[in-house]
Structure 1
Amino acid sequence: MSERQDTLQIRPASAADYEELRNLFFHLIPDDLPLDDQIGREKLKAMLAHPGLTTLIGSLGNDAVSTCTLVVMPNFTRAGAPYALIENVVTHGDHRGKGFGQTLLQAAFELAWKQDCYKIMLMTGAANTGAQKFYRKVGFKSTKTGFELRAPGYPSRKIT
């Protein structure tokens, strides 16, 4: 049976997806710090082996078009219910506005709920109004204030 080319197929990433993920992340942070391919492959393999972490990839046929990472964190409050964090959400620039990011995030939500998470958190840039609108559309609420602390000298992402 052949798969339709416009149907997003979602699966957990593996270390073999290094090239596809690297290419997708260029659409998230075009001016990211350089990473040697050998080191990058080792980092991806270690990341994917981390307990509670799943990176999802959404593909059209053989082309990876969207990704996000879900981290489920053990918790002692809320009767021990874990919580989840979503990070590194990106859809390839040529495929934005087609619902693929929303479909991918819905799969991440389902994965978190299956693991009994009581909430899912996500941060986006304060100046990135397009992303904020997208996250509200998929159901996130701006009910808390997020804070971050970056390592000295680490560059911020530029919103274009």
Structure 2
Amino acid sequence: MFRAARPDDFEQIIRLYRQLNADDPVLADGSDEAAFQQIVSSPGLHLFVLELDGVVVATTYLNVIPNLSRSASPYAVVENVVVDESRRGTGLGRQIMAGTLQAAWDAGCYKAMLMTGSRSPATHAFYRACGFSADVKTAYLARPPERATPPPSTGGAPSPAAS
């Protein structure tokens, strides 16, 4: 069953996210659950799940973003597409992506975008089979700078923060 995530789905979704990003730290301070609660209660943010026999086996995260261009039509960004490792290759990924894209179209989005860091040809074939095209736009990614301590002063001109 394709449906919106409910507040009690947190543990099952986190289990899938750990399959997606095994190197992510386990957060003991509850900030992940707080972010989850914020997502499920915010308009325009849609966390979807695919449930089989009471178990969440796939998830996607759809962000519907208001827009001033394109006749003020919103656009969508899809993130965190995960199918349980034991069920990959069974059509569940296409099923949850179809529901996710339909939700974007129902919200009036004029386009839906996603990015993947995967180099796997199978991943790219999957997204093409879901209706995405890699040859229409170019994506660029910026990350925040590393937070390093500033180097010690060398006795030259003072830094702007030192005035």
TM range (shorter): 0.7 to 0.9
Q: Check if 1:35 corresponds to 2:27.
A: yes
> Which one scores higher on RCO, CA 8 angstroms, separation ≥ 6?
1
> Which AA in structure 1 matches 2:84?
H
Q: Aligned equivalents of 1:49 and 1:109: distance in 2? A: 20
How many residue pairs align between the two structures? 146
Q: Check if 1:73 corresponds to 2:65.
A: yes
Is there any run of 5+ residues in structure 2 with no aligned partner, and where? 148-163
Superposition TM-score, scaled by structure 1 size: 0.85
Evaluate the alpha carbon distance shift between residue 150 and residue 21 of structure 1 in structure 2; reply closer, same or farther with a 3 A threshold.
same
Q: Aligned equivalents of 1:103 and 1:70: distance in 2? A: 15
Kindly provide the CA deviation profile for residues 100-147 of structure 1, in whole angstroms up to 9, marking residues without a partner as x: 010001001111111111110011115243211110111100111111
Instruction: Find the counterpart in structure 2 of residue 11 from structure 1.
Output: 3
> Which AA in structure 2 matches 1:147?
Y
- Cα RMSD between the aligned structures? 1.6
Larger radius of gyration: 2
Q: Check if 1:140 corresponds to 2:132.
A: yes
- Following superposition, which runs of at least 4 residues in structure 1 exceed 6 angstroms of deviation? none
Percent of matched pairs sharing the same residue: 35
Instruction: Find the counterpart in structure 2 of residue 149 from structure 1.
Output: 142
Q: Aligned equivalents of 2:118 and 2:26: distance in 1? A: 25
Superposition TM-score, scaled by structure 2 size: 0.84
Decide which moves more: 100-109 or 122-131: 122-131
Q: Aligned equivalents of 2:73 and 2:139: distance in 1? A: 21
Instruction: Find the counterpart in structure 2 of residue 24 from structure 1.
Output: 16
Q: Aligned equivalents of 1:90 and 1:23: distance in 2? A: 10
Contact 2:47-2:62 within 8 A present in 1 as well? yes
Decide which moves more: 45-54 or 97-106: 45-54
Contact 1:27-1:93 within 8 A present in 2 as well? yes
